Amino acid sequence: MDWEPAPDWRRVTTIDSHTEGEPLRLITGGVDPIPGRTIIEKRQYARAHLDGLRRTLMFEPRGHADMYGAVLTEPVTSDGDVGVLFMHNEGWSTMCGHGIIAITTIGLETGILPMKTDVRFDTPAGRITAHARSATGSTEQRRVASVAFENVPSFVYAADQTIDVPKIGKVPYQIAWGGAFYAFVEAEDVGVEMTMKDFHRLIEYGMAIKHAVMASRDIKHPFEADLSFLYGTIFTGPALSPEADSRNVCIYADGALDRSPCGTGVSALLAIESASEHLEPNEPLVVESILGTRFICRVLGATNYGSYKGIIPQIEGRAWITGRNEFFVAPDDPVREGFIFR
């Protein structure tokens, strides 16, 4: 095809993928280098200057309400390999575990990242080190079988809490950090099933609980004000598959439902399980998603994080490349920054 867009049209390229069912759209071209001395400053710049691009790629007609994306930056540490910012339907994330797995897989399989088994990411939440497992095939057709990443220290922020949620009632919950803050709720306590047929109610209840908790208390990260907010609600309960130990359904951002078990979410769950003495160091905890896909989770050790006693989590999962896109944005397109129907 000889057609080319007009010179004043914006052109953005991406590689799309999914991690255990959850999408990741990685921007590979069409974005200038993002300024900032730190990754927090780069995130602040993106929020102020690149939000139109985020909406264009995340929202319809190019995306959907649950689309997730990322853009790579220069590293901001002396030993970092690459920086990364994550985006979704509401804004810019602080960290994303399924995104780390996807980007490592994309990067090593396509050559975007240096051909190495360990990749050090600078993220707004802190240093993440990803390890590619069982890479197979030739250099031209390398396949990453799975990726395990060491997350930032994770900790329980508030245990044994109760909140009165409109139309639901009194809800027991805990708050934990795993690269973002989450409110954890047992699904049976609010009468929801963690299955695809109940996804509308999961979103409705998850957002109601999130908003109620946000209205009732301040959440403060030990070191960084920009990380001090509640990202989502995670429902937990028994696994439906004999191959898993438990099930997670994460409702995050503006009502997005994570198709994977949620990498930062299971990191926070490990902190809860470890604090409750339900999990020993290096003992695998297999957590399944609403789809039945799984992450293998381990506590590598204990640590202190500010005034909190925390753990170092390791999360392992799989990702697959699903496509390569070249998007065009015409300046006279009335919905060039997209729209969302839920």
> pLDDT tens for residues 23-58?
999 999 999 999 999 999 999 999 999 999 999 999
User: Quick one: what percent of the chain has pLDDT higher than 70?
Assistant: 97
| CATH class assigned to 10-145+321-329 | alpha beta
pLDDT at 114: 80
| 341 pLDDT tier (thresholds 50, 70, 90) | confident
96 among known catalytic residues = yes
Average pLDDT over residues 235-261: 97
The residue-averaged pLDDT of 120-136 equals 91
* Domain map (residue ranges) of the chain: 10-145+321-329, 154-316
Dump pLDDT digits (tens) for 141-154: 678 999 999 999 99
Q: Confirm or reject CATH 3.40.50.2300 for domain 154-316, answering yes or no.
A: no
| pLDDT (0 to 100) of residue 278 | 80
Closest CA to 16 of 66, 87, 72, 68: 68
Query: Are both 10-145+321-329 and 154-316 of the same fold?
Result: yes
Which residues, other chains included, contact 176 with Cβ-Cβ below 8 Å and sequence gap of 6+?
154, 155, 156, 157, 182, 184, 268, 269, 271, 272
Q: How far is it between the farthest Cα atoms of the chain?
A: 64
Provide mean pLDDT across the span 143-171: 97
Determine which one of 96, 250, 262, 297 is catalytic: 96
> Global pTM?
0.96
